[in-house]
Structure 1
Amino acid sequence: MEGYRKLGYAVVATAIERFGRIDALINNAAVFAVKPFTEFTAEDSHGWCR
């Protein structure tokens, strides 16, 4: 997971270097789970990280 975190920081740094700023970020992870969003816990997200 640490590798993904470093990759994320690198993507942001590259975008800022190239465009000067970031106006919006959209997470399009396409996670499917059958329960209300308000019932999710941090432990639930562990299965989503690959």
Structure 2
Amino acid sequence: MEANMSVVDVVSQIQQLKQSGDTLSKKKIKQSHPELLQNALYYFPSWEHAIQSSESL
């Protein structure tokens, strides 16, 4: 699998979802933003790591 988003785009989109109050559960993201989840898992070992990385920036 190849990423079609940069790591910055992934983190930025997670931050936007969080700010808008969207649920960040893996199940919900898989349904509503499958491309984001795929790209996050390309760059990070898990969805939880991707969320943590977006919070630390």
Normalising by structure 2, we get a TM-score of: 0.27
TM-score normalised to structure 1 length: 0.29
